[in-house]
A = this chain, B = another copy of it.
């Protein structure tokens, strides 16, 4: 038989125990993300995260399995904050601006976060890039904006194509290896987007 809950759940939210656990989890991931931003993902060890978050190293390994598992959780945590900006933050990244302005702001923001977190993306996910869930969100968003712009065609695949040059591996090659300016890369991406969105002849 199912056990009787010992606490009454708060309406509209998880029970207090789970809410505390979620808060602790977010605090730990915030601390890890700060370390990644300060030192670069390569320099962040399980020891340093454990110390910064005031938990035991054993706890970290139990929760995340491995350093790669922790890095993936940190990346997902940061992606979730970024998605919240896209869904409900101020325009032009958030709602309220015309769709082309939103799309160009999206590209600029994605370029910045991809470069900022390139090492984290590599540490988290090896050869596979970002998680599929994170990629699916960006495709959905761009597809929605392309539809608002009146683009006709295979929109999910056009969205994937428009997003592909913003992959961290490509941007790292362009900006850190080939030393192209972020401004030039962004201008070329914006040009691509305008070409994709032009009315057909």
Contact = CB atoms under 8 A, between A and B. Distances in A.
A107 to B, nearest CB: 11
Contacts of A161: 164-165, 188-189, 192
Q: Secondary structure at chain A's binding surface: helix, strand, loop or mixed?
A: helix
Interface stretch (A28-36, A76-84, A95-103, A168-176): A168-176
Copies in the complex: 2
Interface of A: 122, 125-129, 132, 135, 153-154, 157-158, 160-161, 164-165, 167, 169-170, 173-174, 177, 180, 184-185, 187-189, 191-192, 195-196, 198-201
Nearest first, the 10 A-B pairs at minimum CB distance are A157-B188, A164-B164, A161-B165, A154-B188, A164-B165, A127-B127, A161-B192, A195-B196, A126-B127, A122-B127
